[in-house]
Amino acid sequence: MNAKRRWFGTDGIRGRVGGLPLTPEFVLKLGWATARVLGTEGGRLAVIGKDTRRSGYMFESALEAGFSAAGMDLRLLGPVPTPAVAYFTRTFRASVGVVISASHNSFHDNGIKFFGADGFKLPDHIEAEIEAAMDEPMVLPNSALLGNVRRIEDARGRYTEFCKASVRGGLSLSGLKLVLDCAHGATYVVAPQVFRELGAEVEVIGNAPDGVNINAGCGSMYPEHVSQAVLASGADYGIAFDGDGDRVLMVDGSGRVYDGDDLLYVIAMHRSVLGELSGPVVGTVMSNLGLEQALLRAGIRFERARVGDRYVLTRLAETAGVLGGESSGHIICLDRTQTGDGIIASLAVISAVVDSGKSLADLTVDLVKYPQVLINVPVECGERVGSVLEDDQLGATVKLIEGRLADTGRVLLRASGTEPMIRVMVEGEKADQVRACAEELVAAVKSCPVH
């Protein structure tokens, strides 16, 4: 089934708070419809977690009312990382897990995303069924059959133990000084606990959420923030999460930033040495060509999926792979958990550093990345982004630039799955040429009529 979805994008439903679909009325009906679709499979329990946005309280209440109105019980986790919701969905044998978060976006946005009973994100056809159910009249059961609601008070402690269990027993981070940037988001309690309990000396920034400062000039979207803190404190490494904790970037003691491609390479090489790497490593169409070439030189197969961790997961399942990720820092260690997890991914990288006795710079010395330029171009009529990509003149410009780069580079234009914009990516051997080609494409996108 390949039904068209109106509200769901590549990572759930996302938008500006107060405008469709992010209104209390819509979210209440969404909770009811989700319970109607997923509650028919035998389970009558949902878990809900959120990040630190102020609007999360409003949407939590709306979802609570919607699920209860459909007769489904609820367990509220409070502010926890997105991957924690996937973990608790499995642990509680729930029918569905719900995350209230807009990930790396600013506080004025929010979103709703779902995990199925298996801890994986819902397939497209289930999302389509939920949308169809929203068109049905909202019918309530007898009041004795309404869902009950309880808050899980020790959710953070449970998840801390799960993260620590993702690394080999006996691993000690004693002697390491780390700076954690929690983006004033969902990791602000759990991440420091994990690393401190494993023995590291931890300094924390971005750990004072006030409901509106999430991702504001900090976290993985602004790695220079943690880089400066590492340099100022003399720390060995810095770790920057995004607002909901499913992305991570790192910096070393010199302030150098390591993106998702770098971290994926380090984990892949370490897993290979340990004999724990099966199947290909899966990246996306945005992954740097240098990553693919470095892994191939090491005898490790590399495959690309569409952008979005759900598509990386799908390809891992199809190829029996255990490791995949995106340049943005979504890294999936499928042998440890079932979705992108910033804490577990950073622990995997730190484990590689400790086990090898080498620095991140040493561990990535054979990874030589191609110059790559990524520019986001806003499109005024966001719902018609696709019409820009179908423009004949833009297509001709793309072919012209691809011919200019020949076999030494790549061009990619795609619509964002979370914001009304076109993402323009150009990659090649020569930095000046790459920049010029990207700027030419941006101008071509801006000149396109929106039909």
Question: Does 450 or 254 have the greater pLDDT score?
Answer: 254
Q: Name beta bridge partners: 411.
A: 426
Beginning with the edge strand found earlier in the chain, give each strand of the sheet holding 96-100 in spatial order: 13-16, 109-116, 96-100, 45-50, 73-79, 149-151
Residue 418 has pLDDT above 90, yes or no: no
Q: Residues 73, 77, 83, 86: what is their CA dihedral angle, to the nearest 10 degrees?
A: -20
Per-residue tokens: 146? 């309404």
The predicted pLDDT at position 146 comes to 95
Over residues 63-104, the pLDDT tens digits come to 999 999 999 999 999 999 999 999 999 999 999 999 999 999
Look at 40-54, 106-120, 126-140, 163-177 and tell me which has the smallest mean pLDDT: 40-54
Q: How far is 280 from 299, CA to CA, in rounded Å?
A: 10
Over residues 372-388, the pLDDT tens digits come to 999 999 887 655 666 78
Q: Is 174 a catalytic residue?
A: no
Helix (H, G, I), strand (E, B) or coil at 221: helix
Residue 426's pLDDT band (cuts 50, 70, 90): very high
- Measured in degrees and rounded to the nearest 5, phi and psi for residue 357 equal 75, 15
Q: How far is 50 from 307, CA to CA, in rounded Å?
A: 24
Inter-residue contact 60 to 100 (CB < 8 Å): yes
User: Letter for the amino acid at 169?
Assistant: G
Domains identified in the chain and CATH numbers: 13-154 (3.40.120.10), 175-257 (3.40.120.10), 259-363 (3.40.120.10), 372-446 (3.30.310.50)
Q: How far is 370 from 411, CA to CA, in rounded Å?
A: 13
Inter-residue contact 84 to 77 (CB < 8 Å): yes
- Residue carrying the six token digits 């003691």: 253
Residue 42 has pLDDT above 80, yes or no: no
Q: Report how far apart, in Å, the C-alpha atoms of 36 and of each of 44, 70, 136, 145, 342 are.
A: 10, 6, 10, 14, 32
Residue 40's pLDDT band (cuts 50, 70, 90): low
Per-residue tokens: 420? 């009304």
Bridge pairing between strands 96-100 and 45-50? parallel
Helices (H) and strands (E) in the chain, counts: 15, 18
Mean pLDDT, the chain, integer: 94
Per annotation, catalytic residue among 68, 103, 287, 416: 103
Of 409, 407, 393, 378, which Cα lies nearest the Cα of 444? 393
DSSP letter (8 states) at residue 47: E
